[in-house]
Amino acid sequence: MNRSRFRSTLLASILLAAFSLPAAADMVYNRGNSADPESLDPHKTSTVYEAHILRDLFEGLVMQDATANLIPGAAASWTVSPDGTVYTFKLRPDATWSNGEPLTAEDFVYSLRRLEDPATGAEYASMLYVIKNGEEVNTGKAKPETLGVRAVDPKTLEITLKSPTPYFLEVLTHQATYPVSKASIEKFGAEWIKPGNLVSNGAFTLSEFVPNDHIKLSKNPKFHDAASVKLDAVNYIPTEDRSTAIKRYEAGELDSNDDLPTEQLADLKKKFGDQVKIGPYLGTYYYAIKTDKAPWTNPKLRRAVSLLIDRDFLAEKVWQNSMLPAYSMVPPGIDGYTPAEADYAKTSQIDREDEAKKILDELGYGPNKPLKLEIRYNTSENHKNTAVAIQEQLKPFGIEVTLVNTDTKTHYGHLEQKGDFDFARAGWIADYKDPESFLGISRKASGNNYSSFNDLAFDKLMDEAAAAGGDPAARMKKLAEAEKELIDQLGNLPLLYYSYHDIVSPKLKGWQANVMDVHPSRFISK
């Protein structure tokens, strides 16, 4: 055989084989998420289930890394004025929207104005009252154009605060502060968040949304750090039924899930070992109380119910020691702050019950006049077991408890729309590592004030804490005084301090435990 012909034939065979090989499989992360989002509009969301998804779709001025520490986001750098009130952000030169259009300072001006515009109805609008004229704009007393944000030039954004706010950069990691596309909103209206319409600026884009089935995100090639993003796609799969989620995980259908059925915790640890992740989580599990509805307008009655709930039992038996008893809204673990606990935190359960009996007798409740209490909770074995345990604890004292269960989307929608209830399960996870994150939700103006708590003394102390921003010690003291007022008046009913309960496949790389339980998909590979 001719030597050169042999080489040509061999080369052709090699090339043919190369082109016949199947393409490398996409790297897809199937991510269990406890519930479907109520919305994908950053200005109209309030839960961690939504935050997980939006953190992948959008990028704020600053973001969190795999360990929940602050890193530059759409802003490459920033400076702060000597008095701590003016923040100047320099946007990345290569920051773009997913459609290739440049991301500009004006986009952030538009987005922050939209957040505070009362017409938007943003639940987190009060979080940005720290910005000059934020409250005035949100309450209709000033026009959005007066908000303390301006574009110095296309890539320079200036934000002016009412007073020094030590946690302001942490606030900017929250989804409510993410930029939204004015052009997309004006073109599609409410439909702008649909697949094919949604223009975002994060590491991923929205490809599919099949309610109660999955949300598919695809890698965004226009993202400024796309070269470092390993995943080709992320499927967010709603897993309200935690037991079913574990079965799907075991079958390989899920690579992780963000909650566990705690009654199975011992077996899960034995079966999956260090794939089960449990640790401190900056959050509080509480019951909202309809404080503007009789008879719950009476703080003494609210106190009686709180006294009768055995939190040690809930933590040890219901949650299998994966949670801690809570007597304050702010959980422990925030530097420089000591939570203001209820005055009965160190009292025995028997003594608490004796006090509760006296209150109930004084208010006329007893066998001939039972106290009726409805507890609403969102779908989860853990929430059901907690409510049932409380039902049993209150029953011997003549309190008749009925339970109402709805899916998560319906549950929080009911609370956000100020629907009727008595007590309702809720949880608050730190939006930023500061006591204000847990206390601000009980201000009268907060969209997350599910209890409709309206206490002038509390709001005044919160205002004084904000004004003391330049003096950290004085500020923390005022926040503690505000928390004491909230706890004494039972504006909310804290039950447990959270731990995170995750299960994570060893196939995943880059998943790192942290107190915020934040795990941006851009840092994960499989």
Query: How sure is the predictor about 24, in pLDDT bands with cuts at 50, 70 and 90?
Result: low
Residue 327: predicted pLDDT: 98
Residue 477: predicted pLDDT: 97
| CB of 240 closer than 8 Å to CB of 379 | yes
Give 212's DSSP letter: T
For range 127-139, the mean pLDDT: 97
Pick the closest to residue 179 from 99, 85, 114 (CA basis): 114
Cβ of 69: how many Cβ atoms within 10 Å? 11
Residue 11 pLDDT exceeds 60: no
The backbone torsions φ and ψ at residue 360, rounded to the nearest 5 degrees and listed phi first, read: -65, -40
Residue 13: predicted pLDDT: 41
Does the domain at 282-499 match CATH 3.40.50.300? Answer given as no
Integer Cα distance of 52 and 282 in angstroms: 16
Cβ of 273: how many Cβ atoms within 10 Å? 9
What confidence tens digit (pLDDT) does each residue in 328-367 have?
A: 999 998 999 999 999 999 999 999 999 999 999 999 998 7
Query: How sure is the predictor about 135, in pLDDT bands with cuts at 50, 70 and 90?
Result: very high
Average pLDDT value for the chain? 94
For range 211-217, the mean pLDDT: 97
Give 263's DSSP letter: G
Residue 5 pLDDT exceeds 80: no
Residue 93: predicted pLDDT: 97
Query: CATH for 28-225+505-523?
Result: 3.90.76.10
What confidence tens digit (pLDDT) does each residue in 496-511 have?
A: 999 999 999 999 999 9
What confidence tens digit (pLDDT) does each residue in 148-200 have?
A: 999 999 999 999 999 999 999 999 999 999 999 999 999 999 999 999 999 99
Domain boundaries, the chain: 28-225+505-523, 282-499
CB neighbour list of residue 165: distance below 8 Å, 6 or more residues apart: 84, 130, 171, 466, 469
Give 101's DSSP letter: P
H helices present in 251-400, as ranges:
265-272, 299-308, 311-313, 349-362, 381-394
Residue 368: predicted pLDDT: 85
Residue 315 pLDDT exceeds 60: yes
